[in-house]
Amino acid sequence: MSEAAGPATCLAIIAGRGELPKRIAERRAEASLPYLVVVFPECWEDWMSDHPHQRHEFEKVGALFRALRKARATHIVFAGAMNRPKVRPWRADLKALGVALRALKLLGRGDDAMLRGFGQIFEEQGLRIIGPREVLGDTLTVPPGALGICGPGARDKRDAARASRIVSAMGALDIGQGAVVADGVCLSVEAIEGTDLMLSRLADLPAERRASCPPPSGVLFKGPKPGQDTRMDLPTIGERTVTGAVAAGLAGIVVAAGETVLLDGDAARRAADGAGIFVYGATPEELAAWET
């Protein structure tokens, strides 16, 4: 466990939906290290009641900062899926009024710029932001190589390389972390809807639109944006991503190895092996070699 969130610190977990914040809370509990789960109304999940937690409203940031100081929180980690907050200025406390204009401007930016801005607000309160990897270690991310029994073929590798270039180009504009390519054709790109809805949309694509690359074909690539603050938002896959790729008629999934969170890896591996598709962690060197 990283010294950044060690015995001398209380870790505040800003918890969104999904498995990741739960894993972080459980790791801290198992190690008997101090922590506090902070949750906003739309993100409440039943597991949180088994951990020290507090519910807060986005507009009551002054109350949140006071609570974190009272809890002696020194570090903070953002984990889990969270929708962009709907700011209700009439509910704001005095502290929130001071950052309201900054928050409204941030909501008009891309995800990475928005998260960096909100992170800066927390850092100005003396809180150090750490990434989930500093708590959970390398077991959090997809390792290099095949996750299960299947691996990508030559065509799949070319598609993955092209999809990775698309993600890099989109990422430079702070748009998304995923793209799907089949036989060199870009079938879909991820924007604000997220990977699951992107794959669902692709599954509904009329057959004539994929006449040149009928299922099963195509690769979903996921990786961080260029220069992304990976403390606050890493690309993520899990069993749901695998089932979504199967429903979309894809041959498999390639992700940036060591930079993509893997949720419930055993379930994801079983789902991939059962469907006969691959999940592969690619290094930058591999992606560069696959382009040729």
pLDDT digits (tens, 9 = 90+) for 187-205: 999 988 889 999 999 999 9
List the structure tokens of 178. 């995923």
∠ CA 269-275-281, nearest 5°, is 40
CB 73 within 8 A of CB 12: yes
Start-to-end CA span in the chain (Å): 40
Indicate the residue type of 270: R
Q: What distance in Å separates the CA atoms of residue 148 and residue 277, rounded to the nearest whole number? A: 9
Q: What distance in Å separates the CA atoms of residue 80 and residue 263, rounded to the nearest whole number? A: 11
Q: What is the DSSP letter of 173?
A: T
Cis, peptide link before residue 216, omega less than 30° from 0:
yes
Nearest to 127 by CA among 55, 56, 36, 50: 36
Q: What distance in Å separates the CA atoms of residue 79 and residue 20, rounded to the nearest whole number? A: 6
Average pLDDT, the chain: 87
Of 274 and 97, more confident: 274
Interior/surface letters 92-111, b for 16+ CB within 10 angstroms, e for the rest: bbebbeebeeebeebeeebb
Strand partners, 10: 73
Q: Average the pLDDT over each of 99-103, 126-130, 287-291 and give the range with the smallest value.
A: 99-103
Q: Average the pLDDT over each of 82-86, 234-238, 257-261 and give the range with the smallest value.
A: 82-86
The two most distant CA atoms of the chain are separated, in Å, by 61
Confidence band, pLDDT 50/70/90 cuts, at residue 2: very low
CB 235 within 8 A of CB 222: yes
List the structure tokens of 176. 């998304």
